[in-house]
Structure 1
Amino acid sequence: MKHLSPQRLVRLLPALAVLALGTAALPGRTGQSATLVTPAPVPAAVTPANPSTAAVTSTREIVLELGKRTISLLDNGKVIGSWPVAIGDPSTPTPTGSFKVRNKVVNPQYQSTVSGKVNPTRGAQGPLGDRWIGFHTTTKDQYGIHGTPTAWEWTVKGREAVSRGCVRMLTPHVRALFDQVEVGTPVVVKR
């Protein structure tokens, strides 16, 4: 892949991630051996050597204000979209700081970091909804902005602090955000 420019590589990352993860990452597909559980970062083999210098030419930035429980998309400092969110419970808070979008996944599958149990439901009614925007990973957990099944919409509408650190959005809102950001987009999480 040495002949690919950084710009082209960044544009190809989502497609390469699907290839690396197998058919399980495709909407409507399930697979026994290549199940995507808790969305994984793009494999190191296809990640640019220095993601902070990857050629993201966008002037967009995601800003999450935990106190207001609002997530906004800014372009050149101007708010172009703002939505209510549910955030991490005080015992499992949403991490604060400056991050970047690490990965984007359509129809992610959830696996509990506590029990290891995999939830087989994918799509809009799955625990992670039908969109995942990963922004931080630790040795144990992955944090992202994701959709919310209908049964849990009350958590977003009430701007609750109930998740295990992730950021929940309503389905149409997370889809709108997902479509307007790319891997490498800055994510700022403020108290």
Structure 2
Amino acid sequence: MSLPSQLPKFVILALVGLSALGLSSCKTLKVAKQDDYDSPAYRPQSLSNVRVKVSLNKQMVYVMEGDKPLLVTATCVGTPSNPTPRGNFKVYNKIEKKRSMSYGFAVQGNAITPIKATNMRGGRYVGYPMPYWVEFSPAYGFHQGYVWNVPRSHGCLRLHKNVAPKFFALTRLGTPVNIAYTQPEDNTLGATATRPGAEHYLAPDPPNSVLITEAAFKAPDKPLFAN
């Protein structure tokens, strides 16, 4: 089962080493020095011809239209104990302002307490924000979150906050998704790709008082497409 990308600190996992999945190739990727990570996206001629390819080894996402890359971006994949599923899928659900049904907050008056949904005993439950949700398998999807340089998620595929809206716009219901250990694009497109720096994935969560409101969901402040 997939869990939210930016889990409250009481449920964050310990850092998982690269050796856990044999991801030695990730060491060669360039890292963005500041939290200005971004990847250009290009408008497709036809959304019906767009397909998504994910390399678990490179932790990269390739959005393709034929042989043309529309978006090449880093992702964060599942840990060995909570792996990202492999295989061929299709996007079947998209929610721009998605909230977790598993982890979130109990709100009672002015008190906001991180909690598992199954542990709710009173108050109002508000799920943890998972913006730009693109689901390809039950409880597994792409969404905005912290993109660590090692496997860190519970199976979902996290995308940087500057990239997630672009990916959301490039997919539709029915978009094919192939997830494999490697992809042919690893040696070409993936070889020159960059990853977000530690300023991104070590940044603290916004205050809980923000996470339970609509302010947790921010619209892009730049055009989505480079063309």
TM-score bucket of the superposed structures, by smaller chain: 0.5 to 0.7
Q: Secondary structure at the match of 2:48?
A: coil
**What runs of 5+ residues in structure 2 fail to find an aligned partner?**
1-45, 104-115, 182-227
In terms of fraction of residues, the more strand-rich structure is 2
Question: What pairs with 1:1-191 in structure 2 (closer than 5 Å)?
Answer: 58-112=48-102, 115-117=116-118, 120=126, 126=129, 128=130, 130-137=131-138, 142-148=139-145, 153=146, 156=147, 158-191=148-181
Counterpart residue identity of residue 133, structure 1: V
Q: How far apart are residue 57 of structure 1 and its match?
A: 6.7
In terms of fraction of residues, the more helix-rich structure is 1
Match of 1:46 in 2: none
- Is the 8 Å Cα contact of residues 144 and 159 (structure 2) preserved in structure 1? yes
Q: How far apart are residue 176 of structure 1 and its match?
A: 0.3
Counterpart residue identity of residue 147, structure 1: Q
Q: Higher relative contact order by CA 8 Å / sep ≥ 6: 1 or 2?
A: 2
- Is the 8 Å Cα contact of residues 101 and 127 (structure 2) preserved in structure 1? no
Please list the CA deviations of residues 92-142 of structure 1 after superposition, one character each: whole Å capped at 9, or x if unmatched.
1000000000111011010228x43486256xxx2x2x21000012xxxx1
Q: Compute the RMSD of aligned alpha carbons.
A: 2.3
TM-score, with normalisation over the residues of structure 1? Answer: 0.58
- Is the 8 Å Cα contact of residues 87 and 159 (structure 1) preserved in structure 2? no
What is the percent sequence identity of the aligned residues? 27
Structure number with larger C-alpha Rg: 2
Please list the CA deviations of residues 161-188 of structure 1 after superposition, one character each: whole Å capped at 9, or x if unmatched.
1111000111121100111111000000
